Amino acid sequence: MLFRSYADLLLPATSWGEKEGTVTNSERCITRVRAAVTAPGQARHDWQIATAFALALGRELGHSYAERMFGYTTPEQIFNEHRESTRGRDLDITGLSYAMLERDGPQQWPLPEGATAGRKRLYEDGVFPTADGRARFVETKYIEPAEKPNARYPLSLNTGRLRDQWHSMTRTGTVARLFNHVEEPFVSMHKRDMERRGLQDGDIARLVSRRGELVVRVIASDEVRAAQVFMPMHWGGRFMRGGGVNALTVPAIDPQSKQPELKHAAIEVEKLSLPHRVVAMRRFTAGETGGLQALRDELEPLLASFDYATLGLSGRDDTVVVLRGYAANPIDDAVLAALDRLLDLQDPRRTMRYVDARKRIEKAARIENGIVQSVCLAGETAAQEWLKNMMMQGASADAMRSWVLAPVAVPPRGSLNRGAVVCNCFDVAASEIDAVLAGGADLKQLQQRLKCGTECGSCVPELKRMCAVAGSRSQESGFGQSRFAISASRTHTASEIPNSDF
């Protein structure tokens, strides 16, 4: 369960679709909201949890006024109290009420008592909420980064977000399809910096700063300048060994905004040799959410058993939980036994198994009703990608049963390796886009044929780049195949390396 390692008490709260009350957006627009669905189980609204806690604490301390201060029974009562606290301020909403919101719809603040509508623009009269009514400009001076690269730490680490993830992934990290574009942590580097360190695309490396170190996969990128590296901020201890990129970043903050200096940490990157590997996967159908989360909770402590490990998801309707572990020394038998137990691979009557003790290879798979349900590949993991895709799609394994534990990256009856999913809305993979572009299609024709980029539009920048690359290669050789048909573990775009961390 989330935060189980830190919390003494868990208070299940309602989500946005289960809440009653009001919400204010960045346009200063206040909207009345109602629950779309009933809250499950014992979940309660935030205000109910806070009120119950305050009343219980008041009784414990013997303070009778707690009943008067926290005697709320509806969210409207809390809104009315908040409304009064704004009187005379620049965000005055004393003229607003639930009745007005229900009758006239959303309203912008300020809306003081006596007004019939909110103000569309703030400060258009030139009066500001200061003692003399005049605006105050803050004169800021340029301050150099608190930490500069040097001979020992010659690279500048930049952090940012990805297209499909949000902050620390407390919500997006539970949605399998959001891993289909980029499925595991990475650090991207300029190819010349990689060559100097003997690194190849996909290698595992150690990132070292003055404060700590972190192990992660390295990918080559022509969107990162030489002497700079980029790592997404999202992955933390729930998804990778080492706790995430903040093990490396600088604690300095801007004196005015208090924004942490997350884009100027000086680091070095060192190649690691982690030859012993394991990939453990288990499939869940759409309705098995409870079992899926329970498995992730039980797998998470095993991340510490490896020199580097990741724990993530793949899939769309059905979900595959994926643990990848890498170690310098042979993986402990107790860890493999734990994985067998968690993946339900212990029963020899239901489990296919291959063991080569001399080479430290042990592989197992469970197939039920013709579908691969669980796989653990230790020591040799060539088949991981097509097995994962077979599990995600719920494809029949009958025709390839004899190849499930074979050391082949592509099964003999055809490849299931689609590559990164570029368009999550319509589940369109890079390989499918490349196939259309190879025929000379432009962006409009690509969208007409595959529908990619016609829903939310977040993949359009990447589609444009793929079209440009395919076009340039076609001019050079008369025909072309885009180099973007690569695995989800290394696909990223320029839009994923923003100037802001938030």
pLDDT score, position 484: 32
Q: How far apart are CA 21 and CA 41, in angstroms?
A: 20
Parallel/antiparallel/unpaired status of strands 213-220 and 187-189: parallel
Q: What is the token pair recorded at 468?
A: 């440009």
Q: What is the token pair recorded at 154?
A: 């010659």
- Say which DSSP state 9 is in: S
The candidate with the shortest Cα–Cα distance to 306, out of 333, 282, 276, is 276
The candidate with the shortest Cα–Cα distance to 83, out of 125, 138, 22, 26, is 22
Other Cβ atoms within 10 Å of 317 Cβ, number: 12
First-last CA distance in the chain: 26
pLDDT score, position 476: 61
pLDDT score, position 65: 79
Nearest-Å Rg of the Cα atoms of the chain is 27
Q: How far apart are CA 156 and CA 281, in angstroms?
A: 35
pLDDT score, position 416: 65
pLDDT score, position 364: 95
- Say which DSSP state 181 is in: S
pLDDT score, position 502: 29
pLDDT score, position 135: 93
**Helix or strand (DSSP H, E) at 107:** strand 107-108
Question: Which residues on neighbouring strands pair with residue 220, listed in sequence order?
Answer: 189
φ/ψ (deg, to 5) at 361: -110, 130
pLDDT score, position 4: 55
Q: Which residues of the chain have pLDDT under 70?
A: 1-6, 412-417, 474-502
Instruction: State CA 98 to chain mean position distance.
Output: 37
Peptide bond preceding 330 in cis form (omega within 30 of 0): no
**Helix or strand (DSSP H, E) at 189:** strand 187-189
* Strands (E) located in 316-409: 319-327, 351-356, 361-368, 371-378
Other Cβ atoms within 10 Å of 499 Cβ, number: 7
Using an 8 Å Cβ cutoff, are 209 and 153 in contact?
Answer: yes
Question: Which residues on neighbouring strands pair with residue 271, listed in sequence order?
Answer: 205
Using an 8 Å Cβ cutoff, are 317 and 424 in contact?
Answer: no
Q: What is the DSSP string of 145-164?
A: -S----SSS-EEEEEE--SS
pTM for this model (two decimals): 0.78
Any residues with CB less than 8 A from the CB of 435 and at least 6 apart, and which? none
- Own/partner contacts of 120-128, CB < 8 Å, gap of 24 or more, are 122/28, 122/90, 128/90
Parallel/antiparallel/unpaired status of strands 204-208 and 276-284: unpaired
pLDDT score, position 199: 96
Q: Is 230 helix (H, G, I), strand (E, B) or coil?
A: strand
pLDDT score, position 472: 77
